[in-house]
Amino acid sequence: MDWDQLQAKWLQMRGALRHRWGWLTEDDLDLIAGHRDIFISRVQERYSVHRSEAQQRIEEWLWTIQDEKTLSGKG
More confident residue, 32 or 71: 32
Identify the CATH number of the domain in which residue 51 sits: 1.10.1470.10
Host domain of residue 8: 3-72
DSSP secondary structure letter of residue 35 = -
Q: Is the pLDDT of residue 4 over 70?
A: yes
Please give the tally of structural domains in the chain: 1
Angstrom distances, CA of residue 43 to CA of 17, 25, 71:
11, 11, 27
* Phi-psi region at 2: left, alpha or beta (left = phi > 0; alpha = psi -120 to 50): beta
Q: Is the pLDDT of residue 7 over 60?
A: yes
pLDDT class for 73, splitting at 50, 70, 90?
Answer: low
Q: What is the pLDDT of residues 38-50, one digit of tens each?
A: 999 999 999 999 9
Q: What is the pLDDT of residues 12-30, one digit of tens each?
A: 888 889 999 999 999 999 9
